[in-house]
């Protein structure tokens, strides 16, 4: 599977995909859009803000971010841990929600191809099995987009339920 950095790599390391998230290091303002009800045919979205700060770990084989999510009614903190496996050339992504910090979500796994990162996992939502997909796109030095979608039918149909647009802080 071919992987290439979504934003041009400095050439300082292997071109195996480990630099795919290098564009994301730093501080960001985040514009969130979140579907109010998931997998129910809902078309109503909550719109709110937040911030995100991203750091490298493991000598470049991983990174983490610290998020403030200004959810209507109650802001909370959350974190993402990402690690890269050079043997498989895949990223693994774990989400940690500050409202329940003793639980780490099922890991998403995937790669970047043609400027888009696609990450998938099997999970359960409201008692039923689903597939979850993260898409990373529109990456540049100053902006990026993340989208989350659920599929209740094995990936035939996807409902996007959360979109985060990142704008780099000055």
How does residue 6 score in pLDDT terms, banded at 50, 70 and 90?
Answer: very low
Looking at residue 3, its pLDDT comes to: 35
The answer on pLDDT for 17 being more than 70 is yes
* Mean pLDDT in residue range 24-35: 97
Question: What 3 state SS string does 93-111 have?
Answer: EEEEECCCCCCECCCEEEE
Structure token digits, residue 67 = 């998020």
User: Strand, coil or helix: what is 72?
Assistant: coil
For 118-156, the pLDDT digits (tens) are 999 999 999 999 999 999 999 999 999 999 999 999 999
User: Strand, coil or helix: what is 89?
Assistant: coil
Average pLDDT, the chain: 92
Whole-angstrom distance, CA of residue 19 vs CA of residue 125: 32
Question: What 3 state SS string does 6-52 have?
Answer: CCCCCCCCCCCCCCCCHHHCEEEEEEEEEECCCCCCCCCEEEEEEEE
Domains of the chain: 22-168 (2.40.128.20)
Whole-angstrom distance, CA of residue 27 vs CA of residue 82: 17
The lowest-confidence range among 11-15, 76-80, 112-116 is 11-15
The answer on pLDDT for 14 being more than 80 is no
For 89-99, the pLDDT digits (tens) are 999 999 999 99
């Amino acid at each position: 599977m071919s992987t290439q950095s979504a934003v041009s790599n400095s050439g300082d390391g292997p071109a195996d995909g480990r630099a795919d998230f290098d564009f994301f290091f730093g501080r960001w303002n985040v514009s969130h859009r979140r579907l109010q009800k998931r997998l129910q045919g809902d078309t109503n979205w909550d719109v709110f803000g937040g911030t995100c700060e991203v750091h490298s770990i493991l000598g470049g084989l991983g990174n983490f971010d610290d998020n403030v999510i200004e959810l209507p009614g109650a802001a909370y903190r959350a974190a993402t841990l990402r690690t890269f496996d050079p043997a498989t050339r895949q990223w693994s992504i774990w989400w940690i929600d500050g409202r329940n910090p003793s639980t780490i979500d099922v890991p998403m796994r995937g790669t970047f191809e043609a400027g888009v990162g696609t990450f998938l996992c099997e999970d359960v939502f409201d008692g039923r099995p689903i597939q979850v997909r993260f898409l990373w796109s529109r990456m540049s030095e100053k902006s990026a987009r993340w989208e989350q979608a659920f599929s209740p039918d094995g990936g035939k149909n996807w409902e996007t339920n959360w979109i985060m647009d990142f704008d780099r802080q000055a």
